[in-house]
Amino acid sequence: MSFEIFKTSSIGFCFGVRRAVNALYDTVAKGHGRKIYTLGSIIHNAAINTDLQKRGVRIVDSVDEISPGSTVFIRTHGVGADVYARLSAAADADIVDMTCPKVKRIHSIAQSTDNLIVAGDAAHPEVIGIVGNAAGFYRVVKDENELRDFLSVDFDPHLKYVFVAQTTFNVERFMFMRSITDEYDNIEAVNTVCTATSERQKQVDILAREVDAMLIVGDPGSSNTRKLYEIASKYCEAYLISSAGELPKNLKKYKKIGLSAGASAPDEMIEEVIINMMNENDEKVLTEDDIDFAAAIDASMKIIRNGQRVTGVVTGINNTEVQIDLGAKHSGFIPKEEFDADEEPVKVGDEVEAIVVKVNDSEGVVQLSKSRIDAIKGFETLSQAKETGEICTGKVMQVVKGGLIVSVNRTRVFVPASQAALTRNADLNAMVGSEVRLRIIEAEMKGRNSRIIGSIRSVLKEEKEAKAKAVRESLEVGKKFTGTVKSLTNFGAFVDIGGVDGLVHVTDLAWGKVKNPADVVSVGDVVEVEVKSFDPETGKISLVYKKQEDNPWNILSAKYSVGDIIDSKVLKIMPYGAFVSVIPGIDGLVHISQIADRRIDKVSDVLTAGQTIKAKIINIDYDNKKVSLSVKDASDDIDDAEQDNGGSEPEAE
Ligand code: F3S
């Protein structure tokens, strides 16, 4: 009896592990003469670790064991900020940071959060690395019970918390724990569970129900591999093997055997297992040298079926369809209109990926869809972007009910109106046709339809915060900024100087008395302001709008001196004298004793508000900002001058 082998599509190295292992082998191959260390095993796979050690790679647990002038690999789990700092300080250390981008994303959340809650195993290296990057308080909770304990004992309702998960945490459990935190407005939960893990678990869960036995390939020391084995064991006989040599002897008793592998199982190991299974199956004895491995695996699997993802080669093109050789007894075709006119035209010999839409056994043809695979690939790319938090670029296609449709790599992304801009009342129609940067915040497959939601606001907010941070860090008293007036109050104007608002107090708007800030500036005005003071603790910034060159005391000093006679308007009558205008922004006092040569009882007997008089500047007190004037002296000086002029003129007769 022979058996069929069914393999999960998600199998072996995840992208993070593949990236790290490839980089390490590349570095070893280049052999640049430096000693190569990995801080902890780069992968949970004894065979690979032994191979690496044979090639001279040293696996160490501590920075202290690394000699100067070495190349040091940080594995996908990442490390805490202290370890990174120690490595950077180590003499001439060449650091190759292979922390998985998905773990890096958690590090950056931890670095920008004052209070962090992590769902995970506190002793796991990834979690140790995450909390080692925490900017402030952190708490690791392994399950909902520990989370509830924390919420009822140590939780401070006045603080803001961010709740994340170890990437390999069980996604259902995290969602349940997240539903508990949903009741707290001050906890923001971010799903950081890696879909590479959950997707693989889901596939094993489905496949194990359909087969008689499951083989899980991987190292027993790898937690994600053990998890796959546990899932498979629930539905059928399951075997965890770390090499082809551990294949069970009695495989022929099964009709259908499922195969999957943990994230640390290399392709070669999986291939070796499949080859051995095929040999066991009394088929032609194959070796790695004489088989097209991919074709052999496909041949061992079921015939082409609806919904299957296939790759074929273009054999012909006519007006209506593109014919595809699938390397099977059926030939395939894709309707011509499914090829995007904007792409390079397809040619005979090109390799094309597609989804099987309909198998017609009697005619031996298979209808394929390229647009569906494009949609799936688009979904996969955007799901990945969601996991890593990567910023995507897209074009706004149209305004729809509730938001925008943005095309990102030819995949439709819905952006709710609330996520389309920084402000809620943005003109969405004006955005049509523009290129935007956005972050994917939801990517979900519902049947054949994908639901992808993006946020432009998240990118704009982040950019604004980064700009604001840079502005705050560059603040110095006296530094000038160009800003925009954002709002006016009766005590001054708030000015945005680059994502940060500062206050220009009413006394700093102009040199003279300002009754209403709106008399000087309006909302939306672009103004140049100078930093008067700032408080790094409270973040309060005081700005000055009035300019030194407009300082009336400087103007006064340049224009007038003591002894000058000026034309001046009487502004206010007081019992002890009269206030008169000197220049705009400076008023002076004519004391009652300086109004006339004779004694006067009341100022108003001689002067009236609004009257223009000649007055002589008799004192300028720059320190106390006071000007004294005399009408009496001015009048005497004018009389003297007239007499002088009269005496020098010739007699009329
Ligand atoms: Fe792998 Fe990175 Fe996920 S290392 S399991 S892709 S978090």
- pLDDT tens digit string along 299-340? 433 356 777 788 877 777 877 888 887 766 567 889 888 887
Which pLDDT score, from 0 to 100, does residue 291 have?
34
- Edge-to-edge, what's the strand order for the sheet holding 58-60? 58-60, 36-39, 71-74, 94-97
Instruction: Pull the structure tokens for residue 325.
Output: 């050789």
Q: What is the domain class of 102-193 according to CATH? A: alpha beta
- Regions of the chain where pLDDT drops below 50: 283-302, 648-653
- Do 1-100+197-283 and 475-550 share a fold? no
Gap between the Cα atoms of 437 and 460, Å rounded = 8
Could you tell me the maximum CA-CA distance found in the chain, to the nearest angstrom? 152
Query: Could you confirm whether 126 is annotated as catalytic?
Result: yes
**Tokens 């500036």 correspond to what residue?**
521
Q: What is the pLDDT of residue 447?
A: 63
Distance CA(68)–CA(245), nearest Å, equals 41
Q: Where are the domains of the chain?
A: 1-100+197-283, 102-193, 309-373, 393-459, 475-550, 561-646
CA of 17 to the centre of ligand 1 (A): 7
The yes/no answer on whether domain 561-646 falls in CATH 2.40.50.140 is yes
pLDDT score of 302: 38
Q: List the residue whose alpha carbon is closest to atom 2 of ligand 1.
A: 16
Has this prediction a pTM greater than 0.85?
Answer: no
How many A from CA of 187 to the centre of ligand 1? 25
pLDDT score at 33: 76
Residue 627 near residue 617 (C-beta atoms within 8 A)? yes
Among the atoms of ligand 1, which is closest to the Cα of residue 77?
4
Which protein residues touch ligand 1 with a CB less than 6 Å away?
14-17, 76, 100, 102-103, 167, 194, 196-197, 263
Instruction: Please give the pLDDT value at position 185.
Output: 87
Closest CA to 335 of 346, 344, 349: 346
Q: How many Å lie between the centroid of ligand 1 and the Cα of residue 54? A: 26
| 224/264 Cα distance (integer angstroms) | 9
User: What is 1-100+197-283's CATH topology?
Assistant: Cobalt-precorrin-4 Transmethylase; domain 1 (3.40.1010)
**Fold entry, domain 309-373:** OB fold (Dihydrolipoamide Acetyltransferase, E2P) (2.40.50)
Q: What does the pLDDT read at residue 524? A: 95
CA dihedral 95→101→103→108, nearest 10 degrees, is 90
CA of 76 relative to ligand 1 center, distance in Å: 7
- Among the listed residues 126, 271, 387, 530, the single catalytic one is 126
Q: What is the DSSP letter of 349?
A: T
In angstroms, the CA 377 to CA 333 distance is 20
Pairing of the two strands 577-583 and 565-574: antiparallel
Write the single-letter amino acid at 39: L
Question: What are 265-282's pLDDT values in tens digits?
Answer: 888 888 888 888 887 765
Nearest Cα residue to 253 out of 282, 217, 212? 212
CATH number for the domain formed by residue range(s) 475-550: 2.40.50.140
State the CATH architecture for 393-459.
Answer: Beta Barrel (2.40)
Give me the pLDDT at residue 513, please.
82
